[in-house]
Amino acid sequence: MRFGSSRRRPSSHRRHRAARPLSLVLALFLMGALYAALSPATQVAADTGMSAQVAEGKALFQVTCSSCHGLNGEGTSQGPSLVGVGAAAVEFQMGTNRMPMAKPGAQAPRKVVQYTAQEINNIARYVHTLGPGPDIPPSSAYDYSNLDDDAIARGGELFRTNCSACHQAAANGGALPNGKHAPALHGVEPLHIYEAIRTGPQQMPVFSAGAIPDKDVAAMIGYLKGLDQQPSAGFSLGGLGPVTEGFFGWVLGIGGLCLVATWIASRGARAK
């Protein structure tokens, strides 16, 4: 009742009906201007180079990787989380094109690389921001060009101790349970050998610098590169040991002897 009567009463203090919204807009404008004037504009400029690479990597990640690893690399039921795997893991998986996988399976096989080094590097930089992990190493970390014979022999000993259980003494690879396998290591980039040792892709365990320092990794790479240059006398039969060698021995060796024995004892062609 009282409220109603006061509204109708004419007043000398009456303001324009648009005054309140206008003052609000003015206050907001003032605040915005004040913020723009006081906030450090230089910070934005300093970050652009890095964040552009990360942003490009993130955009590519969301197109190529996110259906299995999640929009932010958090992992889904189809693929593991990538938080903390580091740039080295991305460089290894994409540099050998094991990732992206063509189809789900026991293991991601090595394929022909589809991405440019720049694209792989962008995604690696983005994934590296998700959590601390091993970074892509400088080539000095695994430089094996100056190793003497002693160091290469020691690399062979380390390889047989740590790697030959799965990759075989001659690095020809081998079978693992349920359709998985340890790949052959011939012709693999030294960078990828280093990254696999440090990141432990798929079923492979990690071998950290605390147990195997960089110089030992370089020695192992030197041994593997030396193996690649070894001349093999004739067919290697897969280099897998007694199974293939026994197969050839029984089928070709004993089979050939049976044919010769049959020829010796047969009566041969007759005149009638």
Partner 1 sequence: MTPEHSTTLVTTEDDALLHPVPNPGIEHHVERYTDVDAKAADRAYKQVVAIFGLVPLLAIAFVVIYFAVPRHATAQVLGVNWQLSNTLLGLTGGLAVLLIGVGAIHWSRQLMNDTEIAEERHSAASNEEERAGFVDVVNEGVRDAGVSRRKMVLASMGGALGIIAVPAIVTLADIGPYPTAAVRRETIEKTIWADGVRVVNDSNLIPLKASDLEIGQLVNAEPETLADLHGKDYMNMKSKTPLVIVRMDPNSIKIPESRKDWHVGGILAYSKICTHVGCPISLWEQQTHHLLCPCHQSTFDLGNSGVVVFGPAARALPQLPLKVDAQGYLVAQSDFTVPVGPSYFERDSRNDYKDGDR
Using CB under 8 A, list all residues that contact partner 1.
Answer: 154, 157-158, 161-162, 165-166, 176-177, 180, 200, 202-213, 216, 231-235, 263-264, 268-272
**DSSP states of 133-156:** -PPPPPGGGG--TT--HHHHHHHH
**What are the distances in angstroms from CA 178 to CA 79, 164, 187?**
18, 20, 26
| 102 vs 271, beta carbon nearer partner 1 | 271
| 60 vs 151, beta carbon nearer partner 1 | 151
| 101 vs 158, beta carbon nearer partner 1 | 158
Min dist CB 264 to partner 1, Å, is 5
Among 176, 194, 236, 203, CA closest to 80: 203
* Maximum separation of any 2 CA atoms in the chain, in Å: 145
The rounded distance, in Å, linking the Cα atoms of 144 and 164 is 20
Min dist CB 133 to partner 1, Å, is 10
| 60 vs 212, beta carbon nearer partner 1 | 212
Among 270, 166, 173, 163, CA closest to 216: 163
Min dist CB 175 to partner 1, Å, is 10
Residues 6+ apart with CB under 8 A from 80: 69
Min dist CB 189 to partner 1, Å, is 21
Min dist CB 112 to partner 1, Å, is 20
| 10 vs 231, beta carbon nearer partner 1 | 231
